[in-house]
Every structure is written in C-alpha cells, then in structure tokens.
Amino acid sequence: MTHDASPLPPDDALTLRVKGFATSQQFTRMFQDGMAMVEETAAYLDGPGREESKTLPRRAALTYAGESMRLTTRLMQVASWLLVQRAVREGDMSVAEAAKEKYRLGAREICKGRKAEAEEMLPARLVDLLRRSEHLYERVDRLDGAVYRGESDTSGNGALAHLGRLQAEFGASE
C-alpha cells in the first residue's frame, strides 16, 4: 500500500479506471456517437460540402478549407482515442500501452482553435458539424483526463469516480 490518499497503488487505480470506462455503457454510447459523426462528416465533405464550397467567394472558400481540415483533424483524434479504448475493452491492447502519450488525445492546438467570426461566411451544415465536433472533442478530452490522469470529472457527472470506487470495493468486472 502506498501513502497516497488512494487505497490502490497508482497502476491498479489506472487499470480500474480505464477498464471500467472501456466496458461502460457511457463508452459504448460515445463510441457509437463518435463513429456516426465521423461517417456523417465524411459524407457531407465528400458530397454536399464539396458542392457548397465551390460556390463560395474566395475568402470564404479559404476559410471553408481551413475549417474543414480542423474538423477532420478533430474527428480523427476522437476516432483514434475511441478505437484505443475499444482495443483495451476487447483485450487487444494493455492499459499500460493505451496510457502512452502516442495513443492519447492530441492536436489540442488545432482541435480547440476555431474562428467563430468566420462562421457567418460558412455553410450552416459545416458550422453545425464544427460545433458538434468541438463539443465531442471537449467531452473526450475531459474523459481522457478523468480516465488516464484521475482528474475529477468536470462534466458534473461524477459517474466515473463512483464506478472506480465500486470496482475497487467489489472487484473489476470482466
């Protein structure tokens, strides 16, 4: 036993948090929502979005290109993070491997930046996707902090902390 306030050694607490989250309904819903958004965005950018971008004035077209790249990067980061969590759930990746920086949510400077003033010149559908992807990225970022760094869940939910305590008390579910 360590002298931490936590009753478990740090590695055990991390394993419980990661596996608890990866096997939760919250993860299942987030995975489905995230992958659906990736598909929706790809369909838009390859179809109607491409056509809409051709009709935009030069300045708006440049903004469209930059924001669509930001959108794509943001969703690639989220999808990658979700796939790592699924690999942990399915036993294809260890918690220690998943905790490495290269598998964590990244590109924060790109993903969190946005030109809100440019929204007025962009198609409404792109603006909607930008906003929704930003919220999804922020949600995943908070979960990444709660699951991998043990930060308190700032979403007001606290379910992750309760799940970890229950699993510590009664054993992790497999």
SS3 of 90-105: the string is: CCCCCHHHHCCHHHCC
pLDDT at 5: 46
What pLDDT tens digit does each residue of the chain (174 aa) get? 444 444 545 678 889 999 999 999 999 999 999 999 999 999 999 999 999 999 999 999 999 999 999 999 999 999 999 999 999 999 999 999 999 999 988 887 788 776 677 788 999 999 999 999 999 999 999 999 989 888 765 444 555 555 555 544 555 444
pLDDT at 94: 94
Q: What is the dihedral of CA 93, 98, 99, 100, to 10 degrees?
A: 110
Q: How far from chain centre, in Å, is Cα 40?
A: 16
Position 97, amino acid: E
All domains of the chain, ordered by start, with CATH? 10-148 (1.10.8.930)
pLDDT at 4: 44
Q: How many residues does the chain have?
A: 174
pLDDT at 155: 47
Q: What is the pTM of this model?
A: 0.79
Q: What is the DSSP letter of 56?
A: S
Place of tokens 């979700």: 82
Decide if 34 contacts 76 (C-beta within 8 A): no
Cα–Cα distance measured from residue 139 to residue 152, given in angstroms and rounded to the nearest whole number: 13
Name the nearest CA neighbour of 159 among 144, 174, 143: 143
Q: With 0-12 CB in 10 A as exposed, 13-18 as middle and 19+ as buried, what is 139? A: middle
